[in-house]
Amino acid sequence: MNRKYSLFLIFIASLLGCAKPEPTGTAITNVTVIDAVNGVRENQTVVFDGDQITGVDAANTEAQFAETIDGSGKFLIPGLWDAHVHLTYDDRFTDVMPALFLSYGITSVRDTGGLMHKMLPVVKKMRADGAVAPRVFFAGPLLDGNFVVYDGISRPEIGVRNAMPADARQTIRDMKEQGVDFIKIYEMVRPDTFEAMVETARGLGLPIDSHVPLSMRAGTAGPPVDSIEHLRNIELDCAGNAPELHETRLELLKNPDELSGYELRSSLHSLQRLPAIANYDEERCDEVLESLTSTLQVPTLRLGALNLDPPFLKEDWQDALSRIPPEVREEWLNEAADMADNPVEEFTSFGEWAVFLVERMHAHGVPIGAGTDTPIFIAVPGFSLHSELEYLVRAGLSPLEAIRSATVRPAEFFSLEEQMGTIDVGKKADLVLLDANPLENISNTRRIAAVVTKGNYYDVESLLTLAKESQ
Summarize as ranges the residues that interact with Zn ion (CB under 5 A): 112, 373
> Least Å distance between CB 113 and Zn ion?
6
Residue nearest to Zn ion (CB): 373
Before 375, cis peptide (omega within 30)? yes
> Least Å distance between CB 383 and Zn ion?
17
Q: Measure CA of the first residue to CA of the last residue in the chain; give whole Å.
A: 32
- Pick 85 or 242: Cβ nearer Zn ion: 85
> Least Å distance between CB 112 and Zn ion?
5
Spatial CB neighbours of 11, under 8 Å, sequence gap ≥ 6 = none
> Least Å distance between CB 207 and Zn ion?
16
Helices first, then strands: H and E counts in the chain: 19, 17
| Whole-angstrom distance, CA of residue 186 vs CA of residue 226 | 14
Spatial CB neighbours of 310, under 8 Å, sequence gap ≥ 6 = 336, 339, 340
> Least Å distance between CB 298 and Zn ion?
9
- Pick 107 or 112: Cβ nearer Zn ion: 112
> Least Å distance between CB 306 and Zn ion?
14
> Least Å distance between CB 194 and Zn ion?
18
Q: Which helix (H) or strand (E) holds 401?
A: helix 399-405
Q: Contact at 8 Å (CB) between 35 and 78?
A: yes
- Pick 144 or 373: Cβ nearer Zn ion: 373
Task: Report the DSSP beta bridge partners of residue 458.
Answer: 451
Give the type of residue at 50. Answer: G
> Least Å distance between CB 373 and Zn ion?
4
Neighbours of 182 (CB within 10 A): 21
- Pick 45 or 112: Cβ nearer Zn ion: 112
Task: Report the DSSP beta bridge partners of residue 184.
Answer: 142, 209
Q: Phi and psi (nearest 5°) for 296?
A: -60, 130
Length of the chain: 471
| Whole-angstrom distance, CA of residue 399 vs CA of residue 75 | 14
Assign 3-state DSSP to the chain and report helix, strand, coil percentages, each to 5. Answer: 40, 20, 40
| Whole-angstrom distance, CA of residue 83 vs CA of residue 10 | 42
> Least Å distance between CB 170 and Zn ion?
24
- Pick 187 or 373: Cβ nearer Zn ion: 373
- Pick 88 or 445: Cβ nearer Zn ion: 88
Cα–Cα nearest to 80, from 455, 432, 372: 432
- Pick 163 or 376: Cβ nearer Zn ion: 376
- Pick 235 or 373: Cβ nearer Zn ion: 373
- Pick 373 or 430: Cβ nearer Zn ion: 373
| Whole-angstrom distance, CA of residue 35 vs CA of residue 237 | 35
